[in-house]
Amino acid sequence: SAAMALATGEIISSCGKQLDGVAIIKDDHATTEEIELLKEKYNIVVRPAAHPVPDARSVAGSNEILQLAKTSDSRTLVVACISGGGSALFCSPREPLTLDDLMQTNSALLASGMPIEKMNVIRKRLENGKGGKLAAAAFPATVLTLVLSDIIGDPIDLIASGPTVPDDGSGWDDACRLVQEYGLEADGEYALPDTVLNLLRLGKEGQLEDTPKSSHPAFCDSPPLCQTVLVGNNRAAVMAAANQAGQLGYNPVVLGTRID
């Protein structure tokens, strides 16, 4: 979000460090003043894009981020700010897939009723940045990820499809199982594009590289090059609301913070 980018820019610039960044933000979620401030004061370029179905701007902004990450070296600190909507906004099709393939896939996943955390198991394998691939692109840089969680339970590897954390929790088999479970096969009710189904099949057969695991150099150094900090989640929001209600004279009762 623009707020995360602004706060990060302010903190890093106050340390006298040079900034160079790209922020992909949902349409109408950053004011003109915020966009200008990020660019002029912090050298962070805002790239508006569509959500929940990605568009050409999502791809252009995502490729810009990946190219910037690849310019990193061992002296570089990469700060990745991740919040809700990241899976759609950070979108770079894996060859030979196209944006249209991903748009059709996202529409089918949404129509099938698949939970977001399961959608991301499939998305990770169709794109260039998800499932730890952004961290791999930035290697050997140090990567600090600040996460604002929008998933109950805060599974870091699933939030925005985990671009900077190892994908130890899923594989090609899991993605293919979900295709069958939710009727996404070629003859299913929510059929995925043939190109996507073929890519998943090749992956399951071991013909394509999977997402980076904990054994990847970006994740297995000691001390680790990649660190993740959870800066906000559903529990934090609920407790803040309850605290504010108490200050206003109400007697709040928190029924739970893990209701899906």
Domain residue spans of the chain: 50-247
Residue 224 confidence (pLDDT): 86
CA–CA separation, 252 and 88 (whole Å): 35
Residue 31 confidence (pLDDT): 95
Residue 241 confidence (pLDDT): 96
24, two tokens = 């992909």
* Host H or E run for residue 48: strand 44-49
CA–CA separation, 81 and 79 (whole Å): 6
Residue 58 confidence (pLDDT): 94
Residue 161 confidence (pLDDT): 87
CATH homologous superfamily, domain 50-247: Glycerate kinase, MOFRL-like N-terminal domain (3.40.50.10180)
Residue 204 confidence (pLDDT): 97
Its pTM stands at 0.89
Residue 258 confidence (pLDDT): 84
Closest to 12 measured CA to CA, from 35, 56, 44: 44
Residues in the chain: 260
Q: Which residues of the chain have pLDDT under 50?
A: none
Residue 120 confidence (pLDDT): 85
Closest to 193 measured CA to CA, from 92, 108, 91, 90: 108
Residue 198 confidence (pLDDT): 98
Residue 159 confidence (pLDDT): 87
